[in-house]
Amino acid sequence: MSTLFWIGIVLHVILCVFLILLVLVQNDKMGGLAGLGGMTSQSAFSTAGAATFIQKLTRMVAIVFFVLVLALGILVTKQNNKTVVSDLQSAAQAAPASEAVVPELPTTFDAPAAPAEAPAPAPAAE
């Protein structure tokens, strides 16, 4: 694998941990880790209030996370499309055809003598 792939993997892990922490720290009126101080949730899906800095940061980190995941997927796909050449194929391609060893056929062919056939047995008379 290339160096770019491993840099992407390390960045991916760091973004995963950072995104998890950002989501856990948020207080979206539903509790979360920020609500451990005794805060109560007023409504499950509140739309009141503008987006806080943490919410905007979470959105940006999530976008970068998904772009990185897609880039790593494309990078791995392109690396897997390379043709794999075996050692035998690379050796055959490296050696010119004129150096190939071709066995020579014999010029004369001496067939072994055929075994003499035994006469067929006469039918037995009764």
Residue 36 domain flag? no
Confidence (pLDDT) at 44: 47
Residue 77 domain flag? yes
Residue 104 domain flag? no
Confidence (pLDDT) at 26: 80
Residue 60 domain flag? yes
State the average pLDDT for the chain. 74
Mean pLDDT score, 78-104: 70
Give the structural domain span for 76.
1-29+54-81
pTM, entire model: 0.49
3-state DSSP of the chain: CCHHHHHHHHHHHHHHHHHHHHHHHCCCCCCCHHHHHCCCCCCCCCCCCCCCHHHHHHHHHHHHHHHHHHHHHHHHHHHHCCCCCCHHHHHHHHCCHHHCCCCCCCCCCCCCCCCCCCCCCCCCCC
Task: Check whether 17 has a pLDDT greater than 50.
Answer: yes
Residue 111 domain flag? no
Residue 14 domain flag? yes
* Residue 11 or 80, more confident: 11
Confidence (pLDDT) at 67: 94
